[in-house]
Structure formats: C-alpha cells, structure tokens
A and B are shown apart, each in its own frame.
Chain A
Amino acid sequence: MTAIRIGRRGLLGSALALPFIRGAAAQGSEAYVLGTLFPLSGPNGEYGTVFTAGAQLALQHIEQDRMLKRPIRLQAEDTQALPQQAVVGMNKLVNVDHANWVLVGFTAVSKAVAPIGDRSKTIMVNGGAVGPDLSGLSPYFWNVIPLAHLETRALLPYLVGQKGVKRIALVYVDDPLGDAILGILRDELPKAGGQLVGSFSVPRTAQQFGPVAARVRQVRPDAVYIASFGAQQSQIIKGLRDNGVSQLLCSYSAMNLDSVRNLPESNGLIFTGQKMDFEGGDELTRRFAQDFQKAHGKAPTIYNANYYNGTRLFALLAQEIEKANGQVTGDSLRETLLRIRKFPLVGGIGEFDEHGNMMAAIEVKEFRDGQAHHLAG
C-alpha cells in the first residue's frame, strides 16, 4: 500500500513539476521576441510592408550567421499608424508576449508607446519617424534614423543657396510630426535666408487638396514643403499639381516610397534622407542590398535598411550579453549600447549618442523619371 501511495504522490508531484522542468530545459532555446508596431492596414499600410521587409531580412541573416544562442520570433501588431491602436499593441507586446525589443515607426505612435516601454524597460527602436522630440523620449527609446531637424538643416541651405528659393509655403498634417516641421521651418528658415509665407494644416484623414492648392497659390511661394506621410502625401502632391501649383515641391525622408516615386506628378520633387551607398559600401551593406534585391526583385530603400539595422542592432547587443553569460533585458541592452556605441550596420559603422540616436549623413535628392537622384550632401 505504502509503495502505491508513494507512487501516486510521485506521479502527482512529477505531473505538477513537469511544466517547470520543461520550462527550465527550454530556457536555453526559448525565442527572443521582436515586436513590431507598424501600420499593416489603412492609408499608411505601405510603410508597414516596407518596414517589415527590412526586419525580416535581418532575421534571416541573424539566423544564417548563427549570431545568437536563441532564435528570434517576430510578433507583429497593426497600429494603422494611430496612437490608440499602437498603445493596445504595445501593451500586448509587453505584457503578453514579453517582447525583448520593439520596432516602432511614426512620430505620434512612438510618443504614445514610449511611456509603456519606459515603465516596462523594453527597448523601442524607431527607424521611420522623424519628429525631433523623439530624441531623449525615454532611455529605452532609440532612433536609427536622423530626425527632422537634421533633415531640414540639410535642405534649407540647399533650397535657398542653390535653387534661389526664398518664399516657402508649408502643407502639413495635423499631427506631432507636422507640428514639429512647422516649428522647425519657423525657426530655421529665416536663419537660412528664407521666409515661411504660409502654413496650411490638414487633418490626417483629408483626401481633397484642390481647395488647399487654391489657398497655397494665393501666398505665391517659390516652393511648397509637404510634411505628411502615407497615401496622403501622394494625394497632396497630385492635388497641388492638378490644381495649378507648379512651383518646386520639397519634403523629407517619408517621400522615399514606391507610390510617390512612381507618381508622374512627383517629377522634380526634392527631398532629404539618409545617405547610404548600397552598391559601393562595405560587405554587410552589399550583402543586404543583394539579398533584398533577390527576395523582392527591387533595390532596397532607406526604410528597409533602417529596420534591418534596428533588428541587427538587437542581435549585436544580445550577442555581447550572451557572451558574458548575462540576461538580455532592457537595462543590459541599454548598458551594452552605451558601452560599445559603434556597431557595424548597413551603411557603415553606426554610432550612437548618449540618448540612443544614431548619427547619419543626410543627402538631398530629387525624383526624376521615377528614380531618386543625388543632388547634394
């Protein structure tokens, strides 16, 4: 009887202990969770596709190179580029999926989720949003893209000095990004020798820009700066051009999308973005460009590279922590970033400042015949 009782107890004990035993055994191979908070549907869905393609290629390379002891699982949440959805997604990533690293985009989304990541000490990496106040948003919020003030600092002297532009009108989306660009142009344009002659805010949902074009024509600008994103920026370009605005159009890195590049009305549009040489760069950059071309049948864009870098940065940091037999946490990742500072990334060595902002060179480009051509920088 006793033997039977011990057997039952043993069996019961074993059954209860089983999940823990399995958990302990699996700890070495349990996947790191890489969360993404991108718009996968709605008028900004194109960005989600572009951002994700970069992250996925990085994951492939990380796996091929066996950089980490544990695999990485990609957990995507659709934000529709809206703060509310992003907060829901971030809460899920942090509390349910226990994400180690979250890739974000869009200024409003980044600002909405940063406090959640800050509280949970989850690293958030932005490779698409350029609102200047994203710098120093949280110790756990980093940027692998130069922010808007750096872009306009490169563009304005070129416009005023090389193109003879003095009067600029701004069409901007009513959103933290648009407001930030308005502030920058108000401050920086007079310093560069130009003048902001009109600013026209449009809601994120606006689709009709014929009436806005009529108002823009009234202020007689030499150039029109467009500060929007997604499908709306193409609609603004088309709306302005179709309604008699023939002046120079200019903008920032968000214009670097296929849908804008292929728009006939975008011909002559001048915009800024990171400087990256995909063909003549180092081996990592060439591998990225070649494999991207192979997988997607087209050359990568800066956004693809940024989210590749955002993902690769995690692998590089986690690799260092694994080597030191440490725990991969928000704090250990941050400590490693601040200790090393320089990392081999697509585009060359990426150097980070104390706020987690990657420094990068900016260039001025122009869309001509469906291609982006280098102008300056």
Chain B
Amino acid sequence: MDPMLVLQLLLGGLQNGALYALTAAGFALIFGATKVFHVAHGAAFTLAGYVFIYAWNAGWHAAIGVAAALAVAVLFGIGMERFVYRPIQRHEGSFFTVFVAAFGVSIVVQNLVGMVAGRGFASVDSSLSQGVEVLPELFLAPVFWVAIGTAILLFVALTLFLSRTHAGVALRALAQNPDLLRAYGLSSSRLSILAFALGSALVAPPAVLMAMTIGLNEAIGNHVMLLSMAATMVGGIGSLRGAAVAGVLLGVAESLVLLVLDTQWAEAASFLVLFGFILFRPTGLFGVVAAK
C-alpha cells in the first residue's frame, strides 16, 4: 500500500470530516436541546452556500459574503422554529407532523433556489481550493487548513459557550430537563430560538467552504442532511461532542475506504459505519442508555 496515497486520503478525509462535523454538530445541538428532528437543516446549508456564491459573484468582499451566509442561515433557523415548528407543537407536535413539515420546507427551498439561482452546478473560483504538491504525490489545498482551523475554533467557542455562559448552561438544561428549566422561571421558547440560531449558524462555514471545494447544486441539502443524521446517530443522539467526532469519522471513513474498495463505495462507507454502530453500539459513541 502506497503510504503517500494513505496520507493523501487521510488528509482529504479530515478536511471533509471537519466540514461534516460542523454540520452534524448544528443538527445535534438543535435536536438535543429542542427534540425537534430538524430535517430542513440541509436547506439552511443550501441557502447559506448560495448566498455566499451570490455575494462572491457580485464582487463583495469574502468576509461580507460569509457574514451574509451566516445571517441567512440563522434567520432561516429562527424562522423555522417560530413559524413552522412552534405552531405545530402548539397543537399536537407529533414527530411525524414535524418531520413532514420540515421535509416540505426543504423541497420548497430546493425549488426556490433552483428557480432563482438556476438549476445545476454552482461554485466559487478561489485559489484556496486549488491543491499544490506539498510532498511528492501529496496534494494539499489551502482550504484544508481553513477547514480544520475553522472547525477547531468553532468547537472550542461552542464548548466555552455551553459551559461558561448562563445561556449555554440553560441550553444544556433544556436538553436534559425542560420542565425543571421552566420551574426555575427560564423561557424554554427563547432558549429554543437560541438553539436554532446557533445550530443553523454552524452550517454557514461548511457551506461556504464546500461552495469553494466541491461546489453546490440546489439538491445538496439532502446529501448534507443524510450525513448529519448519520453523524448524529453514530455520535450518540443528542451528544454534540459525539456528532463532531462522528462527522470526522465519517469523512475519514469515506476517504480511506478507497484504499481497499472500489471508488463506488466511498459514500456507502459512511452508512456502513452507521449500520455497524446500530448493530453493535446502538447508543453511539457518546450516547447514554436510557432507562425504560
């Protein structure tokens, strides 16, 4: 086995895994805190990515493009919480109704993006994504360091927020015991909005970076959502740390699998890992067994 190929695939997997980890962590944060199965999380990703592409093509500074992508993702998340999930939960709030509503919104977003931005491939042409040969047979693009750095920075910031601030601690409390939270006079609805805002914000950086690396199409949200769900399950339902680690694991798995299997199996590797966990460790990496 060629060691440079192993290293190339490992580094490529880490880059993708870092982006999956951020997306999955957003989904896990929302699901863990609110218990809403936010299938439209992929739509937030799509919107953020396309807003960045629009800003880039309009000649705006990249930082403004990132800020715009972030703002749109956050507004979409908050909008979903306020105008879709909350009205449903006010009446009956069954899992199925929430799921179908979110799925419907995803389809609407997908079609709107297609109508406005055009159907087909869209990307930004940036030197950040162009790999250079750093060692013989080892190509690395600057975006690798951006992806890894952004993921580390955001996870450190998120961990500090959840452990050191009142709002963060309250969010964790909402995930564990919402009734007790209300008994202490805290507003679960405000915290729910915060969870959606934070969780949706986490999709903006991977959306921007993927617009540079693999490019987008209006249906990419479905793919992102599948990976986020797989990572959430592998990491342990509700565990932010688990989702992040699982995201990296899935990214590395779908890359390294090419060492032994045909390229056809790259995507399937993520789901093989998922099936493995469902069979042998259903609670995931950091999940806890719930007492019945």
Contact = CB atoms under 8 A, between A and B. Distances in A.
A328 interface: no
Give the one of A174, A211, A235, A257 with max B CB within 10 A: A211
Contacts of A244: 131, 133, 139
Interface in B100-134: 110-111, 114, 118-123, 125, 129-131, 133
Nearest to B15: A210
Nearest to B128: A242
Interface residues of B, number: 42
Given A210-B255, A212-B258, A243-B139, A203 B120 contact: no
Contacts of A230: 120-121, 217
A211 B139 CA distance: 11
Interface in A225-260: 230-231, 234-235, 238-239, 241-244, 257-260
Contacts of B121: 46, 230-231, 234-235, 259-260, 263
A42 B219 contact: yes
B13 interface: yes
A235 B125 CA distance: 13
Contact of A202 (B5, B123, B264): B264
A258 B117 CA distance: 13
B220 A45 contact: no
Interface string A354-365: 000000000000
A224 to B, nearest CB: 13
Interface magnitude class on chain A: 35 or more
Contacts of A208: 16, 214, 254-255, 266
Contacts of B5: 214-215, 218
B119 A48 contact: yes
Interface string A196-221: 00001111011111111111011000
A293 interface: no
Contacts of B111: 41
A46 B254 CA distance: 28
Nearest to B141: A242
Contacts of B8: 214
A7 interface: no
Nearest to B268: A203
Contacts of A40: 119
B23 interface: no
Given A49-B119, A244-B139, A259-B121, A201 B262 contact: yes
A38 B141 CA distance: 37
Interface in B5-54: 5, 8-9, 12-13, 15-16
A202 B125 contact: no
A42 B222 CA distance: 10
A194 B202 CA distance: 49
A214 B219 contact: no
A220 B8 CA distance: 16
B131 A242 contact: yes
A43 interface: yes
A187 B5 CA distance: 30
Contacts of B15: 210
Contacts of A326: none
A41 B119 contact: yes
B214 A238 contact: yes
B123 A214 contact: no
A211 B252 CA distance: 10
Nearest to B111: A41
A10 to B, nearest CB: 52
A211 B120 contact: no
A210 B110 CA distance: 25
A45 B16 CA distance: 26
Nearest to B7: A214
Contacts of A164: none
Give the one of A218, A244, A257, A263 with max B CB within 10 A: A244
Contacts of A41: 110-111, 114, 119, 218-219
Given A208-B254, A211-B9, A235 B119 contact: no
A23 interface: no
B217 A231 contact: yes
B118 A209 contact: no
A202 B141 contact: no
A195 to B, nearest CB: 19
A188 B223 CA distance: 36
Contacts of B16: 208, 210
Contacts of B9: 211, 214
A264 interface: yes
A211 B131 contact: no
Nearest to A241: B130
B92 interface: no
Nearest to A49: B119
A207 B223 CA distance: 8
B263 A212 contact: yes
Interface of B: 2, 5, 8-9, 12-13, 15-16, 110-111, 114, 118-123, 125, 129-131, 133, 137, 139, 141, 213-215, 217-220, 223, 254-255, 258, 262-264, 266-268
Given A203-B268, A231-B121, 12 more contacts: A46-B118, A46-B121, A200-B262, A212-B263, A213-B139, A230-B120, A230-B121, A234-B121, A234-B123, A242-B213, A243-B141, A260-B121
5 contacts: A174-B264, A205-B267, A242-B129, A244-B139, A259-B121
